[in-house]
Amino acid sequence: MTRVFFDVNGETHQLELDTRTTLLDALREHLHLTGTKKGCDHGQCGACTVIVDGRRINSCLTLAVMHQGDEITTIEGLGTPDGLHPLQAAFVEHDGYQCGYCTPGQICSAVAVLAEVKAGIPSHVTADLNAPVRLTNAELRERMSGNICRCGAYSNIAEAISEVAGRSA
């Protein structure tokens, strides 16, 4: 057991944890922030995506004790049912989900993708590393590909993200 503290959605939490506890299980089982989903527990599906110090990660692939002092944003920190984040609202409007289980991860990823593009961070499909990154269809789909949606809402998710990014899918 070890003590760890970090910020989640602007609130500081101090926890006494088994060192084997993943960040994902710390959120879900200890803080009862169950918006972050466990789809595979192996970094293969993206359902557990959260934003740590501004970068998206798979929270199942990292131990909670590695995040001492970190600032973590989960889906609950983006918006609420009565006050949706623009991406949450766009997912509702474009039906960018069906069963809803991958959805928090998709939305957290999308928030980070827009920030990555803004920051000029290239991806596997970026043709020109010296030019500003543009959120093309290929860029969007490449960057979101770590988030599996088995219901197959991809076409709608692309529309939702594009709308928020101010472009057409």
Neighbours of 150 (CB within 10 A): 11
Which span (8-16, 65-73, 114-122, 133-141) binds another protein, by CB under 8 A?
A: 133-141
Per the document, the length of the chain is 169
Per CB under 8 A, the list member of 76, 115, 122, 136 interacting with another protein is 76
Q: Which residue is listed with tokens 């039906």?
A: 95
What torsion, rounded to 10 degrees, do the Cα atoms 94, 60, 8, 86 define? Answer: -10
* 25 contacts: CB under 8 Å, gap ≥ 6: 38, 64
Q: Which residue is listed with tokens 């009565």?
A: 82
Per CB under 8 A, the list member of 23, 57, 78, 112 interacting with another protein is 78
Per CB under 8 A, the list member of 4, 6, 8, 28 interacting with another protein is 28
**Does the footprint of another protein cover residue 158 (CB under 8 A)?**
yes
Site of interaction with another protein (CB under 8 A): 18, 20-21, 25, 28-29, 32-42, 44-45, 47, 74-76, 78-82, 84, 88-89, 91-93, 95, 97-104, 107, 137-138, 140-142, 144-158, 169
